[in-house]
């Protein structure tokens, strides 16, 4: 595998809430995504999920609190915790999660990505 330039990979992503694979290690996927607006309330019953903000501000709304992430900050969403990602403006994200983790978790809708593309 060659080195990965995050900015170059993000330049080729032109849709929101559509994670793209950029790496894999030890059963984990590394994904990049651009997001804007509200996503969908969901949870991942068997997987923790790490959100790392590269650009913008992301709100991770949970039923009991909000976590606000600015560039260079990350949060590990514990498995089973229902959450709603919100981006008032465009946000660039790096995600770390186990291979096969659906972006919409326990919910299936038009935003569900079964097989993420490689960026």
Neighbours of 101 (CB within 10 A): 21
Tell me the per-residue pLDDT of 20-60, one tens digit each, with 9 for 90 and over: 999 999 999 999 999 999 999 999 999 999 999 999 999 99
> Looking at residue 47, which CATH number applies to its domain?
2.60.120.10
> Domain range spanning residue 26?
6-98
Supply angle C-alpha 49, 85, 8, rounded to 5: 75
Q: Residue 110 — very low, low, confident or very high, per pLDDT cuts 50/70/90?
A: confident
Q: Is residue 118 part of a domain?
A: no
Mean pLDDT of the chain: 95
Residues in the chain: 119
Please state the pTM of the whole predicted model. Answer: 0.94
Domain count, the chain: 1
Measured CA to CA, the distance from residue 82 to residue 89 in angstroms comes to 22
Q: What is the pLDDT of residue 68?
A: 98
């Amino acid at each position: 595998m060659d080195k990965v330039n995050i900015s170059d990979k993000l330049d080729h992503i032109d849709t929101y809430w559509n994670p793209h694979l950029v790496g894999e290690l030890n059963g984990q996927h590394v994904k990049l995504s651009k997001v804007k607006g509200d996503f969908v309330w969901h949870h991942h019953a068997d997987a923790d999920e790490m959100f790392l903000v590269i650009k913008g501000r992301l709100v991770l709304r949970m039923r009991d609190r909000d976590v606000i992430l600015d560039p260079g900050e990350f949060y590990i969403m514990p498995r089973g915790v229902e959450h709603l990602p919100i981006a008032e403006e465009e946000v660039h994200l790096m995600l770390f999660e186990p291979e096969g983790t659906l972006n919409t978790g326990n919910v299936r809708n038009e935003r569900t990505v079964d097989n993420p593309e490689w960026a």
